[in-house]
Amino acid sequence: MTDYKSTLNLPATQFAMRANLSQREPEILKRWYQENYYQQIRQAREGREQFILHDGPPYANGEIHIGHAVNKILKDIIIKSKTLSGFDAPYVPGWDCHGLPIEHNVEKKVGKVGLKVDQATFRKKCREYAAKQVEQQKEGFIRLGILGDWQHPYLTMDFNTEANIVRGLGKIVENGHLVKGFKPVYWSVVGSSALAEAEVEYRDKTSFSIDVKFALRDEADFEKRVGQFGGHGSISVVIWTTTPWTLPVNQAVSLNPNLEYLLLQSGEERLVVAEALMESVAERCDLQELQRLASFPGKALEHLQLKHPFYEKTVPVILGEHVTTDAGTGCVHTAPDHGADDFAVGAKYGIGTLNYVDENGVYSERVETFAGEHVYKVEPKIIALLESRGALLHQEKFVHSYPHCWRTKSPLIFRATPQWFISMTEKSLLAKVTAAVDDIRWVPTWGEARIRSMLESSPDWCVSRQRTWGVPITLFVHRESQELHPDTPALIEKVAQLIEKKGMEAWFELEPQSVLGSDSEHYQKVTDTLDVWFDSGVTHFSVLQQREELRCPADLYLEGSDQHRGWFQSSLKTAMAMYGNAPYKQVLTHGFAMDAEGKKMSKSLGNTVAPQKVMNELGGDVLRLWVAATDFSGDMNVSEEILKRTADSYRRIRNTVRYLLSNLSGFSPQQHSLPFDELLSIDQWVLDRCARLQSEIIAHYNDYSFHQIYQKIHNYCVVDLGGFYLDIVKDRLYTMSKNSRGRRSAQTAQYAIVEALVRWVAPILSFTADEAWREIPGDRSLPVFASEWFDLPKLSAGAELDDGFWQYVAKVKTAVNRVLERRRGEGDIGNSLTAEVTLICSDEHYSQLQRLGDELRFILITSKAELQRESGNNVGEATDIPGITVQLVKSQQRKCVRCWHFREDVGTHSEHPEICERCVKNVTGDGERREFV
């Protein structure tokens, strides 16, 4: 018996079936960086149209988590796909390095600034800490397969970035958007510092709840306003407060202009409260037998003079829309020093702040009676004083949620302090920003509504912080007038140049006379630092405009949907303030990673998925595939099961690539490729199908629907290739002689398919694509990532056997498979080659199927397949295609040991008694001929 197996062309490849990604990927990465892939790509795209995706800087603190991974992988997919589309798409990663969380962590190590360490040392430690965090995160990102300029990332703490942040501020000052103002901000009396919003958490607090009477100064004036009324006793406006300590700072009582108010007789006195709240006030204060004496709108009392409950001073009634009927009395005690609404409404009436409470929460000397008292301890005394003055209507304890310092857990106060603001109104910045939203493409579209609603309620942006680790606000203000130095722009540039050399420490060390000369005695250095959101917000200037390979506006900003409030907004506002243009053309947002039930991940629930763990167990490409496969416009669910399914899909795609490669062993595209016209019909079709799919995939890359790409590629591998084309063509590849037209035709097709497929997959399965790339025959001196989409031939419009025909054939195959399966279940046949089928067809089907000549059996993978026209006495088993029935018999022929088909011609050739005629030709002669399949 001859060993015919050696005459077959069985698949062979170096490309391993088992990915073993967790080990292989780090090796692949080594090559990327040894061979400078990023630089190679830049070179390959030099001079091409740019696509600029600007990296939103992650905060330099902590290990990377799944959210980081999602964000960076999406960016990487976009960068790589744009590159495949021919764009020059550089990726400069960045980090946000200043700010509070770093201060906290450093403080834990070295102690408090001013107590254990001086400011300069503290900042140095912060810088070192941030640098370490950057290195750690960088390593994590690189491991994810993100390609970028990791040797030259941007850090907001780079000296030149710091200098340009300062210059950015200078631009904004120059354009008149920066204003100095007072504003009540969250203030920690324990930390004696302002707090950023992010440092505030809400906790329950028990407060005093008191109702306080403000007596009328002039009853006659009141009567003029509200008309005649009766009753007897003193007349007071009643306010309700939960912060008695703010009463010494009271400067007004606010009423809603449009609410109805009542004058009520209550026992021996008369009280003013809002009509809508009368009952709740009566109940709380246990007021009996109230009588309505008069009714009037709030606006009637504007400027009415009231007596302060315990000071000899007069406070006015003022009007504000912030007064509601949710709670209280409808009359609001107003202390502009200690409430945002109070501050705003006070400003309207020219009522400023008093600054009675110092940074430690202690009343200043100017405060009568309570000077030197701490606001947290003074309340019982105030209440006692009110009581003795007869001004207290009611008191009780009250539990409500209240802002606390996240670190010390102590309750915060609002305290008006001088701060720097980027004004939304001074130079109509908000209007300009809102208008700019129109010209930006928001993906998904609801992002636009989101940013709009954020902008609508956008107050002036407080950019100053009383912090240590932040870019300084490099301004000089006049000691008396508080005005900015007239040469501010020039001074800022001078300072920026110093910062460029020595970092922001240059400002803190600066002796004013060195830049101001003799002016210095009149001017004061501002020591506040900038809100970190300013640092990152201004990167369109400090990074995009500075780096040669980038430009502003960027084509795309891409961050999680929380950044509508954050970076998207801060970038837009600063760019508009600086040069009146938006910093980006498109904004893409993604949802957050959630667990299998769509719940937030938290350590306490134990439902977190650590990217590091996924890397080690399943590999980076599986994580990347999960990101690509998930619709990122909503929440993105991850769990063990989901990742396991993803790994299954990964394997299928990998195996398809591997099989295609294995069929190309010994194939040289230059020498062996056939022109498209000479390919067998099914090979032409599969390429055509591939080309059409490729256009769909490119379109999906362009509109960022990666999950569709995943679905389509996977489906293509499973359905078109595995379940149809590759299964059918296997016979031809294996059994026909090496250099036959039939085999070269299949190889030509499959070669083009891998070329295309590996590129499709490269932005997503980057490691695998890179690994496969070097197994494809041909020149691979450039990385896949530097290549462009593979050019695929298409069937001409009037092609004989078009896509419709082949889809029809696939349907027939499925119908016949069902019959085969049924009969196999009955034990009549084994595999499909043990069967011989006759399709009994209507005229229509007959004329369709006879176009394949006697090659139909290779489609059906049966040993014999014949067509017969329908006639009355000639029917087979029904199929689900009307007009086709099947007669199926188990073949009685001998099995060809070479091709496994059962053929009557096995043994006709005396020298090869075990094989069929076709195989004899393929082994000894010039081979069989195929046209279609």
Partner RNA sequence: CACUUUGUAGCUCAGUCGGGUAGAGCAGUCGAUAAAUUAUCGAUUAGUCGCAGGUUCGAUUCCUGCCAAAGUAGCCA
Select the residue interacting with RNA from 715, 739, 847, 908 (CB under 7 A). Answer: 715
Query: Considering just the CA atoms, what is the radius of gyration of the chain in Å?
Result: 39
Report the nearest approach of RNA to the CB of residue 630 (Å).
3
Task: Give the nearest distance from C-beta 255 to RNA in angstroms.
Answer: 10
Interface with RNA, residue 696, by CB under 7 A? no
Does residue 502 belong to the site contacting RNA (CB under 7 A)? no
Q: Tell me the C-alpha distance between 117 and 114, whole Å.
A: 6
Q: What is the DSSP letter of 582?
A: -
From the list 132, 115, 133, 113, the residue with the least C-alpha distance to 123 is 113
Binding segment toward RNA, per CB under 7 A, in 293-301, 385-393, 560-568, 745-753: 560-568
Kindly state the smallest distance separating residue 631's Cβ from RNA, in Å: 4
Task: Select 277 or 492, whichever has its Cβ closest to RNA.
Answer: 277
CA atoms within 13 A on the CB side of 754: 32
* Contact criterion met (CB below 8 Å) for 311 and 356: no
- Which residue among 1, 5, 46, 703 contacts RNA (CB under 7 A)? 5
- For position 449 contacting RNA by CB under 7 A, the verdict is yes
- Segment 823 to 842, residues that bind RNA, using CB under 7 A: 824-825, 830-832
249-268 binders of RNA (CB under 7 A):
none
Map the footprint of RNA across residues 873-932, applying CB under 7 A. Answer: 897-900
Least distance between RNA and beta carbon 239 (Å) = 6
The shares of helix, strand and coil residues in the chain, as percent rounded to the nearest 5, are 45, 20, 35
User: Could you say whether residue 10 binds RNA (CB under 7 A)?
Assistant: yes
Where in 157-196 is the site for RNA (CB under 7 A)?
none
762 CB-contact burial (10 Å; exposed 0-12 / middle 13-18 / buried 19+): buried
Should residue 328 be labelled a site residue for RNA when binding is judged by CB under 7 A?
yes
Are 304 and 269 contacting, i.e. CB atoms less than 8 angstroms apart? no
Q: Which is nearer to RNA, 307 or 901 (CB)?
A: 901
Q: Per rule CB under 7 A, is residue 402 in the interface with RNA?
A: yes
Strands (E), 552-632: 554-560, 584-590, 593-594
Which of 118, 197, 521, 800 touches RNA by CB under 7 A? Answer: 197
CB of 714 to RNA, least distance (A): 5
Q: Does 727 bind RNA (CB under 7 A)?
A: yes
Q: Which two three-digit tokens encode residue 898?
A: 């070479």
Amino acid of residue 761: V
344 or 691: CB nearest RNA: 344
Q: What is the DSSP string of 165-224?
A: HHHHHHHHHHTT-EEEEEEEEEEETTTTEE--GGGEEEEEEEEEEEEEEEEBS-HHHHHH
| 324, two tokens | 């509601």
Among 133, 164, 241, 885, binds RNA (CB under 7 A): 241
Residue 339 interacts with RNA (CB under 7 A): yes or no: yes
Q: Each residue of 505-540: b (16+ CB within 10 Å) or e?
A: bbbeebebeebbeebeeebbbbebbbbbbbbbbbbb
Residue 168 or 447 with smaller CB distance to RNA: 447
Asked if 239 touches RNA (CB under 7 A), the answer is yes
Q: Is 486 in the site for RNA (CB under 7 A)?
A: no
Indicate the residue among 157 and 332 with the shorter CB distance to RNA. 332
Structure letter (DSSP) for residue 472: B
84-103: contacts with RNA (CB under 7 A): none
List binders of RNA among 21-80 (CB under 7 A).
none
Identity of the residue, 318 or 492, whose beta carbon is nearer to RNA in the bound complex: 318
Count, residues in the chain? 933
- Going by DSSP bridges, is the β-strand pair 584-590/593-594 parallel, antiparallel, or unpaired? unpaired
Contact flag: residue 722 with RNA (CB under 7 A) = yes
- 186 forms beta bridges with 414
- Please choose, out of 238-246, 298-306, 427-435, 838-846, the segment that lies near RNA by the rule CB under 7 A: 238-246
Q: Which is nearer to RNA, 207 or 545 (CB)?
A: 207
Strand-pair partners of 254:
318, 332
Answer for which of 29, 89, 97, 332 binds RNA (CB under 7 A) is 332
Q: What is the DSSP string of 405-429?
A: ETTT-PBPEEEEEEEEEE-SSTT-H
Bridge partner residues of 306 (DSSP): 216, 315
Nearest CA-CA partner of 325 in 260, 373, 267: 260
Instruction: Tell me the two tokens of residue 483.
Output: 């005005």
Tokens of 561: 């949907």
Task: Identify the residue among 419, 466, 529, 561 touching RNA (CB under 7 A).
Answer: 561
341 binds RNA (CB under 7 A): yes
What does DSSP assign to residue 589?
A: E
For 314-327, b/e burial (b = at least 16 CB within 10 A) is ebbbbbbeebeeee
CA distance 322 to 324: 6
Residues linked to residue 416 through DSSP beta bridges, in sequence order? 184
Angle in degrees, CA 847, 848, 851, rounded to 5? 90
Q: Whole-number minimum distance, CB 367 to RNA, in Å?
A: 18
Choose between 522 and 565: whose C-beta lies nearer to RNA: 565
Among 222, 469, 533, 724, binds RNA (CB under 7 A): 724
Q: Which stretch binds RNA (CB under 7 A): 135-143, 160-168, 730-738, 902-910?
A: 730-738
The residue from 708, 740, 885, 922 that contacts RNA (CB under 7 A) is: 708
Q: Cβ closer to RNA: 707 or 894?
A: 707
Region from 29-37, 118-126, 394-402, 678-686 binding RNA, contact rule CB under 7 A: 394-402
Among 112, 377, 409, 600, binds RNA (CB under 7 A): 600
Choose between 160 and 563: whose C-beta lies nearer to RNA: 563
Q: Which of 24, 125, 284, 658 binds RNA (CB under 7 A)?
A: 658
Choice from 51, 91, 349, 710 touching RNA (CB under 7 A): 710
